[in-house]
Every structure is written in C-alpha cells, then in structure tokens.
Chain A
Amino acid sequence: MSVAAAVVHGGYGYLPSKFRQFSHKTISQIKPPPPIFISTNPNDVDSNHLKDLYSLCNHSSHRFPKLNSQGIIEPVDINKLKKALRHSYVVVSVFTRPDLGPGRVSGSGLHGDWIGKVVPVTPGNGELVGFGRAVSDTGLTAAIYDVMVIPSLRRRGIGRKIVQRILRILVNRDIYDIAALCSDQEKPFFRACGFGDDVLASTTMMYTRSASTYSEGEQMVKCAGRKLLLVPSLRINLKI
C-alpha cells in the first residue's frame, strides 16, 4: 500500500517532509537557475566581494596552491586581484538576490519580504555569486581563467552561462583561439561547455623548475603558491 502511494506521489511522497529536501537528485531533478543578473562590466565587481568569493569557492589564483591543514586555500592578494581585473579583457560576474546568496538557507522566508523577490536583480542590490574572466592579446588568442560559482548554487547552469557569455564576447571581437587551463576536476565542466584537446595536438607545459631540482651556484627563487620557482640568471655576452 505504501508502495502504491509512493508511485502516485512521484517517488518520495511517502517520506515525512523533513526528509524530502535531502532526496537524491536524479538528472530530471536538477534545479533550473535562480534569478540572476550577468554583468560584463568590470566596474560592477567589487574587489572585496570577489576576494570573499574566491575564499567561498576555495579557489586559488595560483595553479599550485598552498593548502593549510584543513585543505583551505590561503586568501587571494587583493592588490594583485585588482590589477588582474584591470588587465583582463573580459570580466563576467553573476549576481543574484540576497536571499539566495551565500550564507542564507534557500527556500526560507516565503511569506516575508516579497518586495525583495519582485524587484529585478541588479549589480547594486544583488550578491556576487559567480565570476569568470578572460585575458587576451585582442588579436589572435585568449585564455579563460578563474571560472567559479558558490557551492550552494552549483549544478544549475550558471557556470555554463558564464563561459558562454565569455565566448560570445570573444567571438564578437573576432578571436577564435580560446584556451582554458584546467585541472582534473574542472575538465568535465569545460568539456561540457564545448572545449576539447587541441586540434594541433600541442602539449600544455608550465614552468615548474624549483631550486631543489636544479642548482647552479647563486639562485633567486620566487614563491608561487606552494612552488618556489627558480628565476633564470641573466646571461650576457654569449659565447657562440
């Protein structure tokens, strides 16, 4: 009898209401995106909010980040962040209603504050929940970095919208060679957005030489996340 009731109510109807929220999500149950405002104006992004967003998403500006004992990445340097924003060719930021933003329980307050639900989201009254940027030489190539969405609003199509907006802007400016450096966890996301391995089969390489692997007298090292990168010494008057 309870089984028949379950079929009628569509799955988890027989469970008490407090258990329904944590039901296992199937593909058909992925929620549609919340009301969001996507902005491509770099002036809409407040650096402090962006710094908080980096911490919330546990995203690092370094490719080899330093993790503390709980696995949390050190906060991003705000001055460097401002500089990076100034020199990024495309900056996309996603805002949503404050009640859906970080730190709020979704679905609460259905009866209060209905004006907040009716007024459309703008960068002025919304909270920053997603971000993405691209760096380009404005002629031939572009590279996408730092695409992130807060954990509570993931898997709702926001990240894909960010990438599609960046791509649309780049294509409108006649740039077709668009790269994105991604770790193993980010690969499925970019693959779903239409990215793939290079058609010319090039290998991605990064500078990782540190003082321990290569030594030649006096060396200067630079700290980049958890790596100490060796600065190559200046060679003048080459002997040919």
Chain B
Amino acid sequence: MQTLHLLSTSIITSSSSLPTIVSFNCCHCQASSQFPFPKINLGLVKVKRQQKVSNLKAGFWESIRSGFVKNNTTQVIETPSSEKEEEEEEPLPEEFVLVEKTQPDGTVEQIIFSSGGDVDVYDLQALCDKVGWPRRPLSKLSAALKNSYIVATLHSRKFSSGEEGNGEKKLIGMARATSDHAFNATIWDVLVDPSYQGQGLGKVLIEKLIRTLLQRDIGNISLFADSKVVEFYRNLGFEPDPEGIKGMFCLRVLLYSCWRISHWLSTLIFSISDFSDIWR
C-alpha cells in the first residue's frame, strides 16, 4: 500500500497569512517521494515573492504620508539590501540514513532523518494519536509546520533486499522548533512512535535540532517539558528554570478560547434545534 506522500502543499497553494487547507494531489506523489527538495524550494521562493510585494506597499503609503506631514526629514527609501540577506538565511534541508537494519527474513529497514519539513499532516495526526496526544485542527497544524524554523523528522522505510527505493515510508518521529532566526528558539512537539521508543531516536532528533540552532548562533534554546520527560531533557543538557527563568502562559486568552468554543457550540445547538423544528 503506497502511502500518500504529500508535501505541506499549502506552501504552494495559498498565502502564508491565511489558514491553509491541505489538498490531496496524487500526481505530485510519485515525483515527491524521489525529489522532495526542489518542490520545497519553489514553495519558499513563492512565499518570499509575496513578502516583497507587501514591503513595496508599505513604502508607497509611507511616501504619501510623508508628503502630508510638515518638516518631515525622514526619507522613505526601499531597502533592497534586506531582501538580499534573506536569500542566505534558510536552513538547508538535510536527509541521511541514520541506521540500517537487516531482518533475518531479508527485509531491510532504514531509519531516515530529514530536516526538510516534508511532513504529511495526516501522518502526523496519526502519530499524535498513537502517542496519546489530543487532536488539534489540521489547518492550524499545517500552518504551524510550514512556519516553524526547523522541522526534523524520522521516517522508517522497509523494503526487501535488492529493491532499494520502493519501500513504504512511515513517519515515526518528529520534532520542531520555532525561532526568530537570530536569538531565541523554542522546541515544540517532540514525539517518537511508541514501538520505536527507547532506542535513542528522540535523543538524535533533539541533538540535531540543538546542533543546527547553535550553528546559526541562536543561543536561547528553550522548551516546555511535561513532568514525565524532564529527566530525558536533563540528560540532553537542559536545565529546569535556570537562574529563575520561567515560562508563563497567558491565562486570559485560554478563557477566551473556551468562551469561543462554548459560544460556537451553543450556536450550533440552537441552529440544530431550529432545524428540527421545521420537521416537526
């Protein structure tokens, strides 16, 4: 059974600011399993182009406003240099075989590490279910993956010996980090398939993330750990509450989101009851 191996096609199909809907596109499947990287670069280029347009628009209105305000000595100049700097920034996607195991019956299993962000949201949703995490809206999940600085994944590929490249690829682990590309990074959503846990795969994911972040001079690497995994991260070099630094979460907006959900539910119930009145 061939798994549908999608890119986050939302990069290509819609603008970065709107919530995205992941669409199936079967003709991409075959090509993408062989050559994922050119597609990703295309997507990234498209996003940059939209950013350029919005920068130009800001400059236009600034110039109109500056014409009206008296004694305005500030010049409104489009800075082309900032766009050139953006070209060299994107982290280069890497992919390599982490471990190769040959079963007694001849099938080979490879575990492949990738930092290209090539994740199918449906696979990820299934993996989150396996680990026991609550479900989150798919559109938000795909937007989050698209806009994370690094998304590191582990896939397992099984094939019988002599048939390289035709095996089925299964998502078995993921970790992602958001960053401002300069100073701070936060690691979110680290998960490994329960049947592959205990082999040091989670360690590899995190170490690779840290290595990439530090190589880019991003020094503040933080994360919010569940009580069960504090020891795991301590062994990787993380310190809980270093020098009194704590993470605080906004509680008011959580209440607001609960209100929004209950409001939506109540309107739904009312609309259903209205609908049922028609049939009585």
Q: Which positions 130-161 of chain A face chain B at CB distance < 8 Å? A: 133, 135-141, 143, 145
* Residue numbers in A under 8 Å from B257 (CB-CB): 176
Interface centre among A81, A143, A198 (most CB of B within 10 A): A143
The answer to whether B82 and A86 have CB atoms under 8 Å apart is: yes
B-contacting 9-mer, from A9-17, A27-35, A229-237: A229-237
Which residues of A are found within 8 Å of B71, using beta-carbon distances? 125
B147–A179 contact, CB under 8 A? Answer: no
Q: How far is the CB of B277 from chain A (nearest CB, A)?
A: 32
A240 to B236, CA, bound (A): 19
* Residue A61 at the chain B interface, CB threshold 8 Å: yes
Identify the closest chain A residue to B200 (Cβ). A238
0 or 1 for each of A170-204: is its CB under 8 Å from B? (1 = yes): 11001011111111100100110111111111111
Docked-complex contact A125 and B215, CB < 8 angstroms: no
The stretch among A92-100, A102-110, A207-215 that forms the contact with chain B is: A207-215
Least CB distance from B115 to A in Å reads 12
Interface residue A20 (Cβ < 8 Å from any Cβ of B): no
Point out the residue from A87, A177, A225 that lies within 8 Å of B181, measured CB to CB: A87
Measured in the bound complex, the distance between the Cα atoms of B218 and A84 in whole Å is 11
Most chain B beta carbons < 10 A, residue from A122, A133, A198: A198
- With A143-B186, A191-B248 known as contacts, the answer to whether A238 contacts B99 (CB < 8 A) is yes
Does A122 contact B252, Cβ atoms closer than 8 Å? no
A56 at the interface (CB under 8 A from B): no
B112 → chain A closest CB, angstroms = 12
> Does B240 have its Cβ within 8 Å of any Cβ on chain A?
yes
Interface centre among A87, A171, A205, A223 (most CB of B within 10 A): A205
Interface membership of B243, Cβ < 8 A: yes
CA gap between A138 and B215 in the complex, in Å? 25
Give the residue of A139, A195, A223, A231 whose beta carbon is less than 8 angstroms from that of B249. A195
25 A-B contact pairs sorted by A residue (CB < 8 Å): A63-B245, A83-B89, A83-B180, A84-B181, A133-B180, A135-B186, A137-B176, A139-B19, A139-B142, A140-B140, A140-B141, A140-B144, A145-B184, A174-B140, A181-B222, A190-B248, A205-B230, A206-B239, A206-B242, A207-B238, A207-B239, A208-B242, A214-B237, A238-B204, A240-B200
Besides A178-B253, A222-B219, A238-B200, 4 new A-B residue pairs in contact (Cβ under 8 A), listed by A number: A138-B147, A177-B249, A194-B252, A205-B238
Going nearest first, the 9 A-B pairs with the smallest beta carbon separation are A224-B219, A209-B237, A139-B144, A139-B143, A204-B247, A84-B182, A195-B248, A205-B238, A232-B207
A positions within 8 Å CB-CB of B: 41, 43, 61-64, 80-84, 86-88, 122, 124-125, 133, 135-141, 143, 145, 167, 170-171, 174, 176-184, 187, 190-191, 193-209, 214, 222-225, 227, 229-232, 234-240
